[in-house]
Amino acid sequence: MSGSTPELPVVVLDALTPTAQRLVINRRGSTVWEVDSPRGRYAVKLGYPIEATPDWPAQPWTALAPAREGAVLHRLGFDEIAYGEWERGTWNFQPWHEGPDLYRLWEPCRRPDSVVEPHTSVALGCVKALAELHAKGWAHGDVQPAHFIIGPERTHLIDLALARGGQVPEGYDFPFRGCLVHYEAPEIARMVLATGQAEPTPEADVYALGASLLISATGWRAVEYPDDAPRPVQREAVASGRRRSVKVPGDLGALIDAMLSHAPGDRPTIYEVGKALS
């Protein structure tokens, strides 16, 4: 079935009775739609296993990710969400958050000779969204620019499929195997290299937010490695902390540097970051 787009499962059609739908992403293991329904606008996510290719091992856990995220959202006290199983994996739906993500919003800052500076208020919105999660005792585990949706009222932190902090149903749980290497803290990269697994932490989230702000404002990754380097080589570079010298100008730059500290204990907490920006 690889190559073709799956369809919305019947249970989802029954629950939402869509009046319009737009495919947002359809890539290996995951399909997301924006769906209009009489109940409001929703993001619908479908997960299915990634089969092995000559370049990739099989990744059966992608099938479980939407249900795991649904369970996490329930745990965090969000209603208006639902999740369940379909033939090839699991699905969830959740309220659609309107707005550009951090990377898109700061695109003008990245243009050559740009005079547009990254807005502190935008950074603060991202900090508040992450602080809310940490205050509830959870770590996100997959903080990246695309996961901050900058809405008119507030910023939302999406994709909680890898979050850790409370019970999730055993049948939908799976180990954390790291995140996108650009945003991976050195201690996480080191653990993943050594054991294949790690544990999301608030300190690693703070590093990931620092790396997200840096790349969104400047276009540069926090750590230097060749674009086409294999994943383990990228992780080696992150683990050894080969920081790029690129900096965001001003106070925000100094704060991002602190967030990207090599040792987790040297990083500010998300509340300290918030205080520094307020």
Ligand X SMILES: Nc1ncnc2c1ncn2[C@@H]1O[C@H](COP(=O)(O)OP(=O)(O)OP(=O)(O)O)[C@@H](O)[C@H]1O
Q: Are 16 and 37 in contact (CB under 8 A)?
A: yes
Identity of the residue, 32 or 277, whose beta carbon is nearer to Mg ion in the bound complex:
32
Identity of the residue, 159 or 187, whose beta carbon is nearer to Mg ion in the bound complex:
159
User: What is the dihedral sign for C-alpha 161, 166, 169, 171?
Assistant: positive
**SS3 at position 56:** coil
User: What is the dihedral sign for C-alpha 255, 204, 142, 270?
Assistant: negative
Q: Tell me if 24 contacts ligand X by CB under 6 A.
A: yes
- From residue 122, alpha-carbon distances to 126, 160, 172, 247, 260 in Å are 7, 21, 34, 18, 19
Contacted entry of ligand X, Mg ion, none for residue 194, CB cut-off 5 to 8 Å set by kind: none
Residue 164 and residue 137: Cα distance in Å, rounded? 9
Subset of 48-107 contacting ligand X (CB under 6 A): 94, 96-97
Q: Compose the 221-250 pattern: x for residues touching ligand X by CB under 6 A, - for all others.
A: ------------------------------
Nearest alpha-carbon partner for 215 in 113, 118, 128:
118
Among 83, 159, 192, 213, binds ligand X (CB under 6 A): 159
Structural tokens at position 278: 């307020």
Identity of the residue, 30 or 218, whose beta carbon is nearer to ligand X in the bound complex:
30
Smallest distance from the beta carbon of 185 to Mg ion, in angstroms?
Answer: 18
Identity of the residue, 161 or 256, whose beta carbon is nearer to ligand X in the bound complex:
161
Chain-centroid distance of CA 151 in Å reads 16
Residue 200 and residue 165: Cα distance in Å, rounded? 9
Choices 81-89, 105-113, 157-165, 255-263; region in contact with ligand X by CB under 6 A: 157-165
Choices 80-88, 122-130, 155-163, 200-208; region in contact with ligand X by CB under 6 A: 155-163
Smallest distance from the beta carbon of 226 to Mg ion, in angstroms?
Answer: 24
Identity of the residue, 31 or 261, whose beta carbon is nearer to Mg ion in the bound complex:
31
Residue 71 and residue 45: Cα distance in Å, rounded? 13
Identity of the residue, 109 or 146, whose beta carbon is nearer to ligand X in the bound complex:
146
Among 101, 159, 184, 205, binds Mg ion (CB under 5 A): 159
Binding site for ligand X (CB under 6 A): 24-25, 30, 32, 43, 94, 96-97, 146, 149, 158-159, 161
